[in-house]
Amino acid sequence: MAAETTPSPVNIATLQRMKARGEKIVCLTCYDASFARVLEDAGVDVFIVGDSLGMVLKGYESTVAVTMGDMIYHAANVARTGRHALRVVDLPFMSYATREQALGNAARLMREGGAHMVKLEGGAVVAGVVEHLTRHAIPVCGHIGLLPQSVHKLGGYRVQGRDAAGAEAVLADARALEAAGAGLLVIECVPADLGARVSATVTIPTIGIGAGPACDGQVLVLYDMLGITPGKRPRFVKDFLEQTGSVPAAIAAYVRVVRDGSFPGPEHCY
């Protein structure tokens, strides 16, 4: 009987190789130890311990009320059982307003929360912060397009980059983050053709959420793809539990269709 092989831990070099080979990266949000096991068993490559926990776990109207304490608590829960997936943890609202504040908080997410990489929202405006973090050996994931922490400034959850000027701004943000040293990039709620342009423009891997199938990988909020988030479902979300009947089967189905490129389909794109 052949010995069971243990998957190698996923790191940023793994994701770079996947991008170069055209292999899709599978990502989901994760907030606790039990789901970390289920997601890894299904073959998820990247966990995002997202500040979306403020809405799906804590019942807030937005991510703005999430604290560093919240993020460290949930990240540490995931880290206790996570063995193979790359753990990306959000810096919450107003936790990276200055370079010094960002460095201190990012260090806490890594030291106390077990993060492998931290994520922050914004493009060129936060490039200096990204450069400061990466200079101090902290891996950074950028987040462009729709920025949930800026929802009050944006006036709602709206698709970004629809016109030529908006698209160029998103592309400029992507370039600025890559130049500052970001190793991964989440693109949220932009037209599919813009998601494709960004992914072709930067050399770092891109993870789309409502950004079309041409991104190097896909992410959804775990509770959204299980169909248990109340309210109107965003266009880019598919309920995988509805047709599979169990949580492990739903996650396995998501992994399969992201890997083969059939999700997101045209009906999930802008």
Domains of the chain: 12-268 (3.20.20.60)
Tell me the residue ranges of DSSP E strands in the chain: 25-29, 46-49, 86-90, 117-119, 140-145, 184-188, 206-209, 217-220
- Which residues lie across from 145 on neighbouring strands? 188
Element spanning 128, H or E:
helix 127-135
Q: What is the C-alpha separation between 128 and 225, in angstroms, rounded?
A: 34
The closest alpha carbon to 109, from 85, 78, 143, belongs to 78
Q: Which amino acid is at 248?
A: P
User: Which residues of the chain, if any, have pLDDT below 70?
Assistant: 1-5, 152, 154-155
What pLDDT score was predicted for residue 1? 43
| Structure confidence by residue, pLDDT tens digits, 89-139 | 999 999 999 999 999 999 999 999 999 999 999 999 999 999 999 999 999
What pLDDT score was predicted for residue 5? 64
63: tokens are 């991510």
192: tokens are 């599919």
Q: Please tell me the chain's helix, strand, coil percentages from 3-state DSSP, rounded to the nearest 5.
A: 45, 15, 40
The closest alpha carbon to 52, from 43, 39, 65, belongs to 65
Q: What is the C-alpha separation between 174 and 143, in angstroms, rounded?
A: 9
pTM score: 0.96
The closest alpha carbon to 209, from 197, 200, 218, belongs to 218
* Alpha-carbon Rg for the chain in angstroms: 17
What pLDDT score was predicted for residue 7? 83
What pLDDT score was predicted for residue 231? 87
The closest alpha carbon to 115, from 83, 72, 84, 81, belongs to 72
Catalytic residues: 188
Q: What is the C-alpha separation between 155 and 160, in angstroms, rounded?
A: 12
DSSP secondary structure, 57-78, as one string: TT--SSSTT--HHHHHHHHHHH
What pLDDT score was predicted for residue 156? 73
What pLDDT score was predicted for residue 84? 97
For residue 69, the tally of other CB atoms under 10 A from its CB is 11
